[in-house]
Structure 1
Amino acid sequence: MASLAGDIRRPGPREIAKLLAPFPGRAAIVSRIALICALTVLMTAGYGTPDAATSAYIVFFLNRPDRMTSIVMSFALMLLVTVIIGIVMIFAILTIDQPPLRVASMALLSFGLLFATSASKLRPIGAILAMIVGFGLDELGLAPVGEAATRGLLYAWLMVAIPIGVAIVVNLVIAPSPRRLATSQLARRLRLAAHRLTGTATDDERAAFEACMREGDHQILTWLKLSALEGTLTPADGAALRQAAASTTAILVATDFAASEAGARLPDACAAQLAETMTQMAAMLDAGGYPVDVTLDVQDLPEGAALSGLVLADLRTALEGFAVPPSQAAAAPVPAPEKAAEPPARSGFFDADAFSNPDHVRYALKTTAAAMFCYVLYQQLDWQGIHTCFITCYMVSLSTTAETVEKLTLRIAGCLVGALLGTLAIVFVTPRLTSAGELMALVFAGAWLAAWVAMGSARISYAGMQIAFAFFLCVIQGAAPAFDLTLARDRVIGILIGNVVTYLVFTRVWPVSIASRIDATLKALVAQWTRIARAADARTRSALAAGALAQYGGLRQDIGLIHYEPSWVRPEPAWVASRRRALAEIEALEGPLVLAAGRAGAARLGEIAQRLAAGDDAHVQAAQRAADTQTPGAEAAEDHTADPALGALQNVIAKRFGQIADITRPASATETTTDARP
């Protein structure tokens, strides 16, 4: 192994270029978002509704690659905003003439919604709701009379309804169906596996292959579920395609093992024949169907080729049973991999530790305090233009310090880029606009660039959202083109103030390191692979492995976030090195555990679990030394049969663990600030 998980350097220009590179479906959703933004601007200009920039920005929250999710999210947001406006109106009636009571209501509602954000199923949207309620009450305080306040609330509803209506129509017309996306993704996996198996994959294709392995089956299974809901997928086809998703996981794991181990590589003729079969199957999936009755006419390998024979057997099983779901009598339904990788789902709205874990209350208090400080600041300065500092506190606050600082960084970068583009547009483009169509073209271009970033990797997607936000604030200043440069200046200043306040609060007051989450997830991942090792049949192993592979990818991202933590929050270098080592060792065991049904690698998995449970450094170092000195023969105790394939796998595991030990021995004493995320 060349390096540990986590030893990828911070992205430079070359890495950023890779993050911005096109991938299947990216241009389609980006163009769709840009079109909806342009049509939204046309509608707001025609009706003269206020806050047209916000209407265009809302589009970025409504759209997903498939039409079903996009439409459902649009209706859900419309319902949610209607409820929020009703809540704001009730509080407005009680507090509009009493500023102290209105501010107290803002703080109380903010705390309650943020607590629910941290401790309940409201987590994905709770902070946004708190921001909308607080900012809505603030804006109502500026209204001179109650009638104006009521009209303001109605316009706020219209501000959201326009982009939602446009998004629903556009998605119904041109967005792809979830079934189409699911089959296309399965076809892409097969093509990448074919190229990887024959050694013809480019660097970009190898990176895409790794990404497919680490994303799991959750998205594909979600698309299949949505397809059933919209009536484009029959139960029989759904069962077959769910099995196809599990089969592609087995194909990816076996192919990766064959490509990474010299002794597991298949003969050229055999690999070419398998690759041709995969390519033909991918063509069927691209056409909207799926392959059935797959038969491989591939000769068995000589007895001396133990590892390659094991790979061939796994590939044969996965390909010939590619879309053949297990019968109800023969096997239980394949479990959903993502759910299997997590603790059992809790019933009820609140988490189990909602009222016992003080971190939930602390998160709500910290975010509310930061937001209310910013609110008082711009009110006392009488500088309404920097109200984005108040919004920023809600937008960037997350449960851990590392995630919050990362989001702060992306927000600063995005708003600076967006403000620069918007300012250039105001100076050089807006004065030449003579029609609504030309304004739409300008909005389309800016939205397209921002959406290209926003629809990419999670490492940069939030920056794309901020590019759009700042750009729209600059170029959409009303129903007609305007040239107020102070608007961009004030918004950027507000965002920077909000970032500074949030950073100080979240790094100085009850800071929460991401280390505890890494430990919990790492232990859950070891437990998941233990279940995979004990699984009786290949189908179940493949389904469970998809969730474990995706969980590994999430852990890499979390470890990559550690360098965002300030020194007084960040764990010790030895802790970071030990977790990177454990993650690398799990990666070394993935292929053998799937290929050999857990008979090779289970003992090593137990060692990792013991080392994580030990806790203190002395136990960790002792366990590491024991693992470093373990010989291949020690692993043989897992299986008492004289199976050459198992012996070869145990040798591979021992070799990989030795390489990891060689890498970590000098690295454990030093700290690196690297980003592990793909």
Structure 2
Amino acid sequence: MQALADLRLWLDTTPAWSFLKSQLAPFPGRANAMWRYVFASACVIVISLGFQIPLLSLSLIVVFFTAQENTALTKLSAAIMLAGSLVITSLCLLLVMFTFDYPVPRILGACALVFCGLYLLRTSSLGVLGFLGSIQVIYTQSFIDLNLPPELLVRVILWSWVATAYPVVLTVLVNLLFLPTEPQRQLEAEIRRQLDDVIAQLDARLLGRAAPPLPASALERGVLTLQRHLGFAVMAEADYRRNQAWHLLRITTVDRLHTAASHLAGETPAELDPANRELLHALLATVRALRDQTGGRAAFQPPQPLSALAQAPTADPTLVEMAYALQGLGDASDADLPPPPSRPRGLMAADAFSNPAYARFAVKTLLATLVCYVFYTAVQWQGIHTIMLTVIILALPSVGSSRTKGWQRIAGCAVGSVIALAATVFVIPHLDGLTGFLLMSLVVIGAGGWVAAGPARSNYAGMQLVLAYVLAMFAHAGPSTDLTEIRDRMIGILLGAAVSTLVQLTVWPELDRDALRPRLARILRSIATLARAREAEPERRQASIDQARLAGWALVAGAREAQANALLEPGWHVAALDPTQVQTWLTQAQEALLAVNRLQTLLQAGLGDLSAPMRQAAERFALDAAATLDALAIRMEQRAGEVTALSSAAVDALDGVDDAPGQPALIAAVHAVRSCIAQMQPSASQAAAD
């Protein structure tokens, strides 16, 4: 028992084991997604084997490509895949029709189609069509190399369309009828989860006990999740489209409450006076009422007016911010709601035909594919046709993101191949029917589905686990006992990943670490925008604060992803901007974002209680902080310019104002902003000097 306890302790302190546990941990909706994968796969296996539809392995993979996190995305991906597969199959048939007896024109035509698909992948919102088109063209070339008769080749191409199309329709039906995950339900569940956090903070403050932690990472994840689910709900539900402005106001209110609750978590509990206790009781009742209201466009009315309670001279500014947020939601009318921000939705990127990086990306990916094709045909090793598919699958803009996906593909395929090997040697010889084989396969598909439904840092490995297993076990119309297929496909994947990485590193390399500096500069500018949000018109100030806060969190999340990818790039430890130090800097940026938001919250909530000199000094400090942040951004991005320390004149002016309600909290917020900027300044200056 002691040995087991020691082993458990050692595993818990191992970073790899901790990462694995975090990636495999259950969360709401993950089990539902896994069961949908299993049920759709079971239907596909039964139909394909029953009707003798070839390419069963392709049909099973289509299930995983089609099923998405909610029904709206699933229907969208299904429509794209159906239309795209029809167009791509037609193009492949035309290519074969005119170039079957002419290898050079056939290869050149295939290269042209792959180039267009890869170019579309980088420049269009319909880039998935380019990805699928490139895969289909490469897959067709592997058929041609089998020296099949023309009629049989056409039949194989047409059957590949059938094997792709019917699983798409089946997957949509399963996702709509079996444990459907609707985006509006996801949105309401996320709203309730965040309001539960707020209620926990208010309860702790009311009882005078230490509040549960609410870190900045939870705020970042929460606000981005709300925005994503709202976008999907607007796409899927007519009511959300008609009342998009109101639902946007609602999630903005929840974000304001969640952010204010984070500020409460960082404060030391103090004795409550009667005014703050009454305000806390009212806030708890109102937040609970908001939590209980789910779905639709029901008008929200606070159980009691909060504005009068928030006007108490001793009211806590954080509680006042919560009261104003809730009262603003209750007072909102359709006539007063601003229209939702318009977002241009062009099919092509603005610089699609002017940025040479897109064409370079297509050329170098095509080059890696041709290298693999030449090797594949030269050695006449049909089993490693996955070498070319791997290059297309790993076609991502940067070396870091490609290697992240590559390691997931290798790990998933290795696990899937080992499972297939063990099943072939130890299980299949003892099976006497398809029932046992189906049950065994569904267990493996369920395991891969659990991983595929997980976080972005590991979900691709789940799909690759299933891919390796089904390619080995369903290569024919029934269980396969050929161990060489397992070996050949794994070798093809490893060779394809090696060639893809080598070409990306030597031909026009795009490194995530090179993009870190401009990303960090944009974060600084977003915090500066938040600091000067009070320059907007009075009726637009709160909206400006909310928009700047959301933009800041989105930029921090993007920079963190780029930093994680940069750690997988060769030579990162000798780079001018060390990605390991960027993580510390991002934590400082999170703190600065929260501190500036806290300052703006106090100015908004306590505006009526602040004297004119005090308000002017605080607003002047916010503008000085914005100017310092802009200077830091210029120095980091351009490696030029001087940054002077943040002036203490505004702080001295605040200290010189006579004591007034809200002054201690405001001065503390000013000092917090000043401290955060002082922490970031050496990092930015060092990055600029490197």
TM-score for both structures, normalised by structure 1: 0.84
Residue 189 of structure 2 corresponds to 184
Alpha-carbon contact 2:38-2:445 (below 8 Å) kept:
yes
Alpha-carbon contact 2:118-2:131 (below 8 Å) kept:
yes
Query: Which of 626, 638, 651 is matched with 1:633 structurally?
Result: 651
In the TM superposition, residue 354 of structure 1 has moved relative to its aligned partner by 2.9
SS at match of 2:47: helix
Structure 1 position 140 matched with structure 2 position 149: no
- Change in 2 beyond 3 A, CA 1:270/1:179: same
SS at match of 1:190: helix
Alpha-carbon contact 1:402-1:513 (below 8 Å) kept:
yes
Structure 1 position 217 matched with structure 2 position 241: no
Query: Which of 454, 457, 475 is matched with 1:456 structurally?
Result: 454
Ranges in structure 2 where 5+ consecutive residues have no aligned partner: 1-12, 205-209, 605-617
Q: Distance in 2 between matches of 1:65 and 1:646?
A: 43
Q: Deviations over 1:233-262 (max 9, x none)?
A: 5734x5433321111111121111221244
Query: Which of 634, 646, 658 is matched with 1:613 structurally?
Result: 634
In the TM superposition, residue 84 of structure 1 has moved relative to its aligned partner by 0.2
In the TM superposition, residue 524 of structure 1 has moved relative to its aligned partner by 4.0
Deviates most, 29-38 or 127-136: 127-136
Alpha-carbon contact 1:92-1:137 (below 8 Å) kept:
no
Structure 1 position 320 matched with structure 2 position 322: no
Q: Distance in 2 between matches of 1:387 and 1:158?
A: 21
In the TM superposition, residue 450 of structure 1 has moved relative to its aligned partner by 1.2
Return the structure number with greater relative CO, CA threshold 8 A, min gap 6.
1
Deviates most, 478-487 or 34-43: 478-487
Alpha-carbon contact 2:576-2:687 (below 8 Å) kept:
no
In the TM superposition, residue 62 of structure 1 has moved relative to its aligned partner by 0.9
Query: Which of 454, 465, 468 is matched with 2:466 structurally?
Result: 468
Alpha-carbon contact 1:450-1:468 (below 8 Å) kept:
yes
Q: Deviations over 1:395-422 (max 9, x none)?
A: 1121112111222222111111121222
Q: Distance in 1 between matches of 2:489 and 2:252?
A: 48
In the TM superposition, residue 386 of structure 1 has moved relative to its aligned partner by 0.7
In the TM superposition, residue 372 of structure 1 has moved relative to its aligned partner by 0.9
Alpha-carbon contact 1:194-1:276 (below 8 Å) kept:
no
Alpha-carbon contact 1:631-1:654 (below 8 Å) kept:
no
Q: Distance in 1 between matches of 2:417 and 2:277?
A: 55
Structure 1 position 422 matched with structure 2 position 420: yes
Q: Distance in 2 between matches of 1:60 and 1:514?
A: 28
Alpha-carbon contact 2:310-2:323 (below 8 Å) kept:
no
- Change in 2 beyond 3 A, CA 1:43/1:494: same
Q: Distance in 2 between matches of 1:657 and 1:67?
A: 44
- Change in 2 beyond 3 A, CA 1:140/1:323: farther
Structure 1 position 195 matched with structure 2 position 216: no
SS at match of 1:217: helix
Q: Distance in 1 between matches of 2:523 and 2:659?
A: 28
- Structure 2 letter corresponding to 1:611: L
Structure 1 position 292 matched with structure 2 position 300: yes
In the TM superposition, residue 294 of structure 1 has moved relative to its aligned partner by 1.6
- Structure 1 letter corresponding to 2:559: L
Q: Deviations over 1:185-204 (max 9, x none)?
A: 2112211332355458877x
SS at match of 1:626: coil
Q: Distance in 2 between matches of 1:605 and 1:640?
A: 26
TM-score for both structures, normalised by structure 2: 0.83
Residue 29 of structure 1 corresponds to 33
Structure 1 position 73 matched with structure 2 position 77: yes
Q: Deviations over 1:551-592 (max 9, x none)?
A: 321221112222112117974146874795377235423353
Q: Distance in 2 between matches of 1:114 and 1:476?
A: 29
- Structure 2 letter corresponding to 1:314: E
Q: Distance in 1 between matches of 2:686 and 2:635?
A: 21
Alpha-carbon contact 1:451-1:465 (below 8 Å) kept:
yes
Q: Deviations over 1:122-165 (max 9, x none)?
A: 43442332122122133134242211111111100111122112
In the TM superposition, residue 540 of structure 1 has moved relative to its aligned partner by 5.0
Query: Which of 500, 511, 514 is matched with 1:513 structurally?
Result: 511
Residue 169 of structure 2 corresponds to 165
Q: Which has the larger radius of gyration?
A: 2
- Structure 2 letter corresponding to 1:507: L
Deviates most, 381-390 or 119-128: 119-128
- Change in 2 beyond 3 A, CA 1:290/1:448: farther
Q: Distance in 2 between matches of 1:177 and 1:265?
A: 44
Q: Distance in 1 between matches of 2:68 and 2:56?
A: 22
Residue 99 of structure 1 corresponds to 103
1:647-658 alignment runs, 5 A limit: 647-658=667-678
SS at match of 1:429: helix
Alpha-carbon contact 1:55-1:159 (below 8 Å) kept:
yes
Q: Deviations over 1:355-390 (max 9, x none)?
A: 332222221111011111111111111111111110
SS at match of 2:195: helix
- Structure 2 letter corresponding to 1:149: L
Deviates most, 353-362 or 371-380: 353-362
- Structure 2 letter corresponding to 1:491: R
- Change in 2 beyond 3 A, CA 1:346/1:482: closer
Residue 397 of structure 1 corresponds to 395
- Structure 2 letter corresponding to 1:133: V
- Change in 2 beyond 3 A, CA 1:12/1:603: farther
Q: Distance in 2 between matches of 1:268 and 1:472?
A: 62
Alpha-carbon contact 1:249-1:546 (below 8 Å) kept:
no
Residue 666 of structure 2 corresponds to 646
Query: Which of 616, 624, 634 is matched with 1:603 structurally?
Result: 624
Q: Deviations over 1:522-549 (max 9, x none)?
A: 4444444455424534245335533432
- Change in 2 beyond 3 A, CA 1:81/1:124: closer
- Change in 2 beyond 3 A, CA 1:657/1:133: same
Deviates most, 413-422 or 436-445: 436-445
- Change in 2 beyond 3 A, CA 1:365/1:276: same
SS at match of 1:480: coil
The share of aligned pairs that are identical, in percent, is: 24
Q: Deviations over 1:484-533 (max 9, x none)?
A: 22211111110000011011111122211224543444444444445542
Q: Distance in 2 between matches of 1:507 and 1:569?
A: 16
- Structure 2 letter corresponding to 1:605: A
SS at match of 1:561: helix
Q: Deviations over 1:417-457 (max 9, x none)?
A: 12122222223333344444433322322222112222221
- Change in 2 beyond 3 A, CA 1:90/1:112: same
Query: Which of 310, 313, 318 is matched with 1:311 structurally?
Result: 318
SS at match of 2:127: coil
Q: Distance in 2 between matches of 1:614 and 1:208?
A: 27
Q: Distance in 1 between matches of 2:265 and 2:189?
A: 24
- Structure 1 letter corresponding to 2:482: D
Alpha-carbon contact 1:140-1:152 (below 8 Å) kept:
no
- Structure 2 letter corresponding to 1:318: A
Deviates most, 129-138 or 43-52: 129-138
Q: Distance in 2 between matches of 1:50 and 1:480?
A: 11
- Change in 2 beyond 3 A, CA 1:481/1:89: same
Residue 253 of structure 1 corresponds to 259
- Structure 1 letter corresponding to 2:233: L
Alpha-carbon contact 1:214-1:553 (below 8 Å) kept:
no
Deviates most, 11-20 or 291-300: 291-300
Alpha-carbon contact 2:78-2:168 (below 8 Å) kept:
yes
Residue 675 of structure 1 corresponds to none
Structure 1 position 351 matched with structure 2 position 349: yes
Q: Distance in 2 between matches of 1:575 and 1:73?
A: 35
In the TM superposition, residue 45 of structure 1 has moved relative to its aligned partner by 0.9
Length, aligned pairs only:
641
